[in-house]
Amino acid sequence: MLWTECLTRLRQELSDNVFAMWIRPLVSEEKDGVLYLYAPNPYWTRYIQEHHLELINILAEQLSEGRVTKVEITVDSRPGAILKPNEKPATSTSALQQNTTVKPTRSAKKVTESENSTHQAKLIKKRQLNSLFTFSLFVEGRSNQMAAETCRKVLTQLGASQHNPLFLYGPTGLGKTHLMQAVGNALLQAKPNARVMYMTAESFVQDFVASLQKGKVEEFKKNCRSLDLLLVDDIHLLAGKEASLVEFFYTFNALLDESKQIILTSDRYPKELTELDPRLVSRFSWGLSVGVEPPDIETRIEILLKKAENTGVDLPRNCALFIAQQVVANVRELEGALNKVVAISRFKGCEIDLDTVRESLKDVLAIRARTISTENIQRVVSEYFRIPLKELTGPKRTRIYARPRQLAMGLARELTGDSFPEIGLAFGGRDHSTVMHACEKVQSLCKTDPIFDEDYKNLMRLLQS
């Protein structure tokens, strides 16, 4: 069956732990050209969507010889929606119906008690840090250097008030989780007995609700408030969870009172989290807030090369440059693009070259061509600085027009990958050397002029949103 064939290929592509934990338990059903995958909860589906769905799509389409054109993953919490280790992959949802009408028996009660007894073990496993999230495997660049240096400093001054809590913020997929877990991994390596807990805001809510249902709230509080280091991802997702917010508020205060380190991440600066309790938001600002920006092209190239090296893939630098020019939003999309290129090259049994990369990323190239162009950048920069578009591309050299023009040229080079002559042509037929000078000037001003750097980052966010 198709899903069985996909599993065979996925076992070769993924690590044993990832395959056994996330892929192997999925149940499948093929219908009307779509391969449906069923997972037991939303967290599971989101993980598959973010990390593996694109690869599964490629394999399903290739192994079915075009019969399946789409793969969808949805939540199905009915009994049977997750396989046990000794079960074979299901090829139909009929297996999901088998246990829905069975009456409870003594043996069933024993199973339930056994499951409850392993609940804590599962929670511990869920909170294990990713061993690959270390400082040595983190690629630093201008966009994340301050965040990385701060995390290292936190490790040497754990619980110090000037960076407690440490609040990392920025768009998704830029390495915030990697950095926070790198602190946890380094601490455990230095002090194996340290009490470290990593969780998402969503898992905090789930665990708190479960403790309420089981009458184990005090045990939950004790576990959370006796930590040396608490790492909470996506803290903004606590919005609307009133009871959980209250509990987190008291846990937060208890750890700070004991000078225990807290590291949080969010997609926004603390004061922009208006949907959370103002008292909690104000406490987020007590320590240090550090932003993580989208990586520049040099950093993106190094990320790709390091990722390829760590997975034993021979990625030519010119191919890394091409991918980095096309995928600019975040690290997660970079890794997804690389995984797609690797999958296609292995399927074809050929080495990675520019032709393979172009074929693998044809969908990305088509979308990018429609969304980010030099003309679009000119329009956004014109609106941002409130200057006429004709002046941005015109001959006037007064500072009020020259600086935005240089900035627009730099952004065009960064985001479109167009050549210097192509960009010059779009800016009133300017010479390629003028564009080169503008790009060098932009890099220099970003390092020396905080206001210019802030404008650059704001425009980058606008164009990539």
CATH homologous superfamily for 145-291?
P-loop containing nucleotide triphosphate hydrolases (3.40.50.300)
pLDDT at position 246 over 90: no
What is the per-residue burial (b if ≥16 Cβ within 10 Å, else e) of 186-201?
Answer: bbbeeeeeeebbbbbb
How many whole angstroms separate alpha carbon 238 and alpha carbon 277? 10
Positive or negative: CA dihedral 410, 415, 417, 421: negative
How many whole angstroms separate alpha carbon 369 and alpha carbon 451? 30
Supply 391's token pair. Answer: 């002046």
Distances 420 to 260, 399, 414 between C-alpha atoms, Å: 52, 22, 11
Are the beta carbons of 41 and 75 closer than 8 angstroms?
Answer: yes
Are the beta carbons of 164 and 261 closer than 8 angstroms?
Answer: yes
How many whole angstroms separate alpha carbon 129 and alpha carbon 126? 9
- Model confidence at 329, pLDDT cuts 50, 70, 90, reads low
Are the beta carbons of 170 and 290 closer than 8 angstroms?
Answer: no
Whether the link from the prior residue into 450 is cis, omega within 30° of 0, is: no
Whether the link from the prior residue into 165 is cis, omega within 30° of 0, is: yes
| CATH for the stretch 297-370 | 1.10.8.60
Residue with tokens 């990675």: 352
| CATH for the stretch 2-96 | 3.30.300.180
Q: What percent of the chain has pLDDT over 90?
A: 10
- Model confidence at 99, pLDDT cuts 50, 70, 90, reads very low
pLDDT digits (tens, 9 = 90+) for 21-72: 778 888 888 888 899 998 877 768 887 887 788 888 888 888 888 888 889 9
Find, among 175, 182, 214, the residue nearest to 198 by Cα: 182
**Is the domain covering 374-464 a CATH 1.10.1750.10 domain?**
yes
- Model confidence at 465, pLDDT cuts 50, 70, 90, reads low
pLDDT digits (tens, 9 = 90+) for 338-390: 888 888 888 888 888 888 888 888 876 666 655 678 888 898 898 888 888 88
pLDDT at position 182 over 90: yes
Cα dihedral angle (94, 95, 100, 101), rounded to 10 degrees?
A: 80
pLDDT at 87: 47
Are the beta carbons of 27 and 37 closer than 8 angstroms?
Answer: yes
Task: Give the pLDDT mean for 421-442.
Answer: 90
How many whole angstroms separate alpha carbon 35 and alpha carbon 52? 14
pLDDT at 150: 92
Which residue ranges does the chain devote to CATH 1.10.8.60? 297-370
Supply 152's token pair. Answer: 């290292």
pLDDT at position 102 over 50: no
- Model confidence at 396, pLDDT cuts 50, 70, 90, reads confident
pLDDT at 370: 58
pLDDT at 254: 84
pLDDT at position 95 over 50: no
pLDDT at 186: 92
pLDDT at 77: 52
Find, among 334, 309, 426, the residue nearest to 376 by Cα: 426
Contacts of 400 (CB under 8 A, 6+ apart): 387
Are the beta carbons of 273 and 236 closer than 8 angstroms?
Answer: yes
pLDDT at 200: 87
How many whole angstroms separate alpha carbon 148 and alpha carbon 377? 30
Which residue ranges does the chain devote to CATH 1.10.1750.10? 374-464
